[in-house]
Chain A
Amino acid sequence: MARGFISTPLYRGPEHHADPSGPWQCCCVADFFAQFSPNKTESVSPSESAEPNPALPAYLDDFFAECDEHLTSARQSLLALEPVSHQPEVDRTMLEELFRDFHSIKGLAAMVGLKPAEQLAHQMESYLGALRQGRVPFSSPGFAALADGVRSLEQVIGAHRAQAAPVDLGSVGASLDALLPLVGTVDDKAGSSAIGSSAGGSIVAAADELNAEQQARVTSAIEHGETAWWVTFMPSAELAERDINVNTVRKNLKSLGELIFSAPQVLAGGQIAFRFLLTTAAEETAFAGWQRDGLSYAPYAAPAPSVPTPAASAVSRAAVSASAAKTVAPTNVVRVGLGRLDELMRMVGDLVITRAKFEENLKQLEAQLPATQWRTLQENNGAFERQIRDLREGIMRTRLVPIREAFMRMQFVLRDFTSDPQSRVRLQLSGEETEVDKLIVERIMDPLLHLVRNAVSHGIEPTAERVAAGKPPAGLIALRARTNGQTVLIEVEDDGRGIDAQQILARAEKLGLIEAADRAETTNILSILCEPGFSTRETVDRTSGRGVGMDVVKNAIEELGGSLSLWTEVGRGTRFTVQLPLTLSIADALVFEVGDQTFALPQSFVQEVFQFEATAVALLESNEIVYRRGVALPLLRLASLFGLASRPSATSYALIVGDAQDAIGLVVDRLLGLREIVIHPLDDPLVRVQGIAGATELGNGRIVLILDALSAVRGLGNRLSGPTSKAAESARGRLQAATSGVSHRHE
């Protein structure tokens, strides 16, 4: 429940971010892209999803906002790291922070197709991963490379934002790669040699590769004021042409100092590299320029810390402070974990209870206080109540995020489809800024995907057919969202061929889902489409499509307390409208009594409240039925479902849940009214029972259980069809058959 983040979560921190050990192992590129596939079953290839999409300016804003956030945080971490950059061991939490920032930037860059930034961030991430695992010591050149990297990332991203020419990253990537150990790098394939010079992929060896005698020589050299360096040479054809080979390198190195150790090594890609351990009295600057000659170097660390190079550190300080000074425009977005908001909501709940107790006390005082004093107290109490309600509302609002995120995913799905030139489709978005509870945005993703996919594969005709029908060659799918009171409406509309009711009915009849006599008006089409048994997969003609997965879509929407409706016209198009509550944590609910216990049911589940006389109830086997506008309505007495003693009365109320022919009346004893409730999940296994969805409290500190209308309906289905029933849906089907039987008998 408390997962996820509020704000504009373009790149939702993958689950493994929560696990401190996770990110270090999970930076493999394939895993990484898997996070961006629009859903679990359908993956978008990296190259596809990485294409920049100029059609999404709003989306890019989010990208820049998030990048700024991570760059700012990275700069802060670097400033904190700088004073300790000459120590081989640094505080891990700082490294972890940095790692996460670059990991996120990498993901963001991948999403908008900013390849250079993605690769650079990846290299920085790899280096930090190695640092954190202690595979390489931290060093001044390392710090400088990180600082350069941050600056370069900033430039690349800034250029992208200004739509300027891409920035040349120069040797930043290479110097990062040079810092990495050869073995054990999880994902060198993607990172090394990607950027800048050819000197990528180098090696830093651990000191324990050296034998005792070599160790001693290094130690004594360092004691004599020399520095020790691991130098890596990567030969290439280009270098060979310039007469640079391992022998010339060896000679040059020997001219600087003493070669303690040298060994060839085969890199992951099959390339050969040569490693040398050099002790020298020369300054770093003596060989700093050698990078273009295929050389890279890193300080030798253990057992003695390497001497910091003042030059490098001065440069990097300048770099860092310069970049910190021109921090990119502030974004006014704060990310808050959902858990914190839940916590706030709990506190407000406490406040509500305290106030209710206070009011009780106040009432007791009424007789003892002078009227004027009491009235003042009472007024303050009223203000207190309103303010708490506003506070609650305010916190609820912070849980709302634009539905944009969900809509954006649709773009990816569509791109997948439209790679098939036969079905060119345009997606038109409107109302992306409409705000919905974060949790709902997440849960509505899959149902929306289904609807969009169906629109593309079943709704939009092939180009030729469209042209023949006088339509524009490219199909149009409109995704719209808008707020309507306490609910949100989302529409998925296509200008395709529409759904032929007669074909659907014929198909349903053939599948035995309906009887010929039941062929009714088109409004029933939707419920047929949503029958679990209904599928047009067998019929290859696409005109009657739409069946696949619609039951899943409908269930998912209903579980969110929403509903689905359909408009279609043959030849003109189809529109699915999804109606959802604004938030899951607060809802308007009907409060009612069953026996002496109070329950609540979110209003969005209730189609209607139906009043009936006890005498109007008919019995079918052991099931009660009442007639409502000539249609039999099966009744479920909540008192018997929950084993409570019901108070018999002449007039009863039924809350009608489920739609059209699936409707069921939940019989309650007494209606108490409509209240705004805060929904608490009831997730402890001790109290997870059928028919109860959650809990709330109404201000007096006492819990009121929230009914789970859907599972209550399933409960009824199970009763009707006996213990062998496995699916509520099939039970409902039988229920319909049974009730229609009754109506025939009565006629």
Chain B
Amino acid sequence: MSDSSASFILFQVAGTTYGLPAGCVQQMEMLEGVTPVPNAAPFVDGVVFSRGQVVPAVNMRVRFGFERAAYDPKTRLVVVSTSGRSVGLIVDAAREFVSIAAEAIQPPPPAMAALSGKYLASIAALGERLVMILDVNELLNFDDNTLPAPAEA
């Protein structure tokens, strides 16, 4: 990674393009075989087996407060890994790996209060498009009040 640009994996959730630093993305794969985990949080679709690992799969639509959508052939699992923990993110689509110049990346506007605002690290302009760069650690921090109390067993 040079000083002037950084690599990102881009993915789409409900029409918005998000970016994650490439370094924290373990892999991207087609979504197959999600096993539901009873009584887990609503945004946890279940667990998947990815490269010999059992990984929880978080539905990003639900996590960001959108309507759940049925999986389709474009649905992808983006496995991110930070501080020894791996979590799979179920996103509508993901296929781009881009380098973004440092000057194209800006801090999020203070007034930004969208659903993903809390997880937003910065905003990048990529040609015509705006990319929301996410903060991985915030994203995987589920100990906040967005985590509903587990259903009564």
Contact = CB atoms under 8 A, between A and B. Distances in A.
A286 B47 CA distance: 75
A718 B153 CA distance: 9
Interface string A693-726: 0010100111111000000000100100000000
B49 A703 contact: yes
A711 to B, nearest CB: 9
Given A597-B36, A703-B47, A689 B150 contact: yes
B48 interface: yes
Contacts of A686: 40-41, 44, 56, 58, 87, 142
B38 A680 contact: no
A353 B49 contact: yes
A681 B56 CA distance: 12
A687 B56 contact: yes
B48 A703 contact: yes
A634 interface: no
B33 A346 contact: no
Given A597-B35, A704-B35, A641 B53 contact: no
B48 to A, nearest CB: 7
A627 interface: no
A725 to B, nearest CB: 12
A714 to B, nearest CB: 9
Which of B35, B36, B52, B55 has the largest number of chain A CB atoms within 10 A? B52
B54 interface: yes
Nearest to A596: B36
A682 interface: yes
A677 to B, nearest CB: 12
A644 interface: yes
Contact of A642 (B38, B46, B53): B38
Contacts of B41: 686
A314 to B, nearest CB: 49
B153 A703 contact: no
B1 interface: no
Contacts of A701: 32-33, 49
A364 to B, nearest CB: 17
B40 A689 contact: yes
A644 to B, nearest CB: 7
Contacts of B55: 684
B147 to A, nearest CB: 9
B37 interface: yes
Contacts of A700: 33
A207 B75 CA distance: 67
Contacts, number: 84
B51 interface: yes
Contacts of A685: 142-143
B37 A705 contact: yes
A349 B53 CA distance: 9
A643 interface: yes
Given A642-B38, A643-B39, A689-B40, A684 B49 contact: no
Given A349-B52, A703-B47, A687 B153 contact: no
A687 B39 CA distance: 9
A705 B39 contact: no
A703 B35 contact: yes
Interface in A323-357: 345-347, 349-350, 353
B39 A690 contact: yes
A110 to B, nearest CB: 33
A346 B49 CA distance: 11
Given A691-B153, A697-B49, A682 B87 contact: no
A643 B142 CA distance: 23
B85 interface: yes
B151 interface: yes
Nearest to A351: B52
B87 A703 contact: no
B39 A682 contact: no
Contacts of B150: 689-690
A349 B44 CA distance: 24
Which of B36, B39, B54, B142 has the largest number of chain A CB atoms within 10 A? B54
Given A684-B87, A690-B153, A691-B38, A346 B53 contact: yes
Contacts of A642: 38-39
A692 interface: yes
A689 B38 contact: yes
19 contacts: A349-B49, A644-B38, A680-B53, A682-B37, A682-B47, A684-B85, A685-B142, A685-B143, A687-B47, A689-B150, A689-B153, A691-B39, A701-B33, A702-B49, A703-B49, A704-B35, A705-B37, A715-B153, A718-B153
Interface of B: 32-33, 35-41, 44, 46-49, 51-56, 58, 85, 87, 142-143, 150-151, 153
Interface of A: 345-347, 349-350, 353, 597, 641-644, 680-682, 684-687, 689-692, 695, 697, 700-705, 715, 718
Given A346-B52, A681-B54, A689-B40, 9 more contacts: A353-B49, A597-B35, A682-B54, A684-B87, A685-B143, A687-B56, A695-B47, A702-B33, A703-B54
- A-B complex: 8 closest residue pairs judged by Cβ atoms: A346-B52, A642-B38, A702-B33, A703-B35, A686-B56, A349-B52, A690-B153, A680-B54
